[in-house]
Amino acid sequence: MQIKTMAEYAAEGRSPEVLFWVGCAGSFDDRAKKITKAFCKILNKIGVEFAVLGQEESCTGDPAKRAGNEFVFQMMALTNIEVLNAYEVKKIVTACPHCFNTLKNEYPSLGGHFDVVHHTQFLKTLMEEGRLKIEGGAFKGKKITFHDPCYLGRANDEYEAPRLLLEKLDAELVEMKRCKTNGLCCGAGGAQMFKEPEKGNKDINIERTEEALSFEPKVIATGCPFCNTMMTDGVKHFNKNTEVAVKDIVELLAEADDL
């Protein structure tokens, strides 16, 4: 699978349709790399011209900002903005809601004005344009529940795109009691992903996974690499990892298409 960088496009004097912002999780976390690959396979198959920054991409600064280090956040953000502006990037797609929220809502005040979309929004648009065809395939009739990522749902009011894609799989979509505007966090946001939880009666990801498992789904679908990690840990906690899969929506779409 050949994926071009923005530098390679610039050398050819061309611009891709979209820049894929991979993010730290999608670049370095072994589990999240599978999400990155699935998304790239889909884009490659339908002929979307996209590029990555490669070595020039740095963390958006989201964890630093959430942990209270505004100075480090601004330093990282300004470096990224300089790179993006140098390539005259207009449209960015990312599979991480944390990157999505930061690039979309927090970069403009620092001079970074880009059209930023989550990968589910981008795929929904491609589907509406007739460029992406989704077949039910392996997931026809299977019970799937979707966990809303905080930074996609409540922070950016996007609930429709992921569900529309899941419905196209002909699966039985069951909603958890706490969903959409009333969704429950997986426990990884606010830089909590990188530290041990405080003492308490129950970890938040265990609470959330318990709610998901109560519907006896075959798949817990996510749209965020952090949520994916937390829900996977929750499923392992209940020893259900052989019965219930935790997968990003793009992984389900790629599997349904045998990619």
Could you report the average pLDDT of every consecutive run of 10 residues in the chain (259 residues)?
94 97 96 97 96 97 94 98 97 98 98 98 96 84 95 96 94 94 91 80 94 95 96 96 96 87
- Is position 19 within any domain? yes
Q: Are residues 109 and 172 in the same domain?
A: no
Q: Are 93 and 162 within one domain?
A: no
pLDDT of 195 reads 78
Closest to 38 measured CA to CA, from 222, 199, 239, 220: 222
Same domain, 141 and 81: no
Reported in sequence order, the residue ranges of 17-61 that DSSP labels E, i.e. its strands, are 18-21, 50-51
Query: Is 167 in the same domain as 250?
Result: yes
Q: Among 168, 175, 120, 165, which residue's Cα sits nearest to residue 143? A: 175
Going from the C-alpha of 4 to that of each of 14, 40, 49, 52, 151, the distances in angstroms are 12, 11, 9, 7, 28
Q: 247 and 168: one domain?
A: yes
- Residue 81 falls within a domain, yes or no? yes
Domain that holds residue 108: 6-126
> Quick one: 79 and 180 in the same domain?
no
Quick one: 80 and 139 in the same domain? no
- Per-residue b/e over 183-221, b at no fewer than 16 CB within 10 Å? bbbbbbbbbbbeeeeeeeeebbbbbbbebbbeeebebbb
Q: Are residues 167 and 244 in the same domain?
A: yes
Report pLDDT for 83: 98
Q: Which of 60, 94, 126 is the last residue of a domain?
A: 126
**Bridge partners for 5 per DSSP:** 52
Beta bridge partners of 143: 172
Does some domain include residue 178?
yes
Q: Return d(Cα 31, Cα 161) in angstroms, integer.
A: 23
Asked if residue 164 and residue 50 are part of one domain, the reply reads no
Q: Token pair for residue 109?
A: 């005040």
**Residue position matching structure tokens 């349709």:** 17
Instruction: Quote the pLDDT of residue 31.
Output: 96
Instruction: Give, for 210, the enclosing helix (H) or strand (E).
Output: helix 204-213
Residue 1 belongs to some domain of the structure: no
Residue 118 sits in the same domain as residue 218: no
Residue that is last in its domain, among 105, 126, 147? 126
DSSP letter, residue 137: G
What values do phi and psi take at 146, rounded to 5?
-105, 130
| pLDDT confidence of residue 2 | 85
Check residue 198 and give its pLDDT.
82
Residue 194 domain-assigned (yes or no): yes
User: Where in the chain does DSSP place strands (E)?
Assistant: 18-21, 50-51, 91-94, 115-118, 143-146, 172-174, 219-222, 245-248
Q: Is 75 in the same domain as 141? A: no
- The answer to whether 39 and 250 are in contact (CB under 8 A) is yes
Same-domain status, 176 and 201? yes
Position 10 scores a pLDDT of 97
* Domain count within the chain: 2
Gap between the Cα atoms of 159 and 58, Å rounded: 28
pLDDT, residue 259, reads 67
Please identify which residue in the block is written with the tokens 């395939």: 137
Q: 223 and 149 in contact (C-beta within 8 Å)?
A: yes
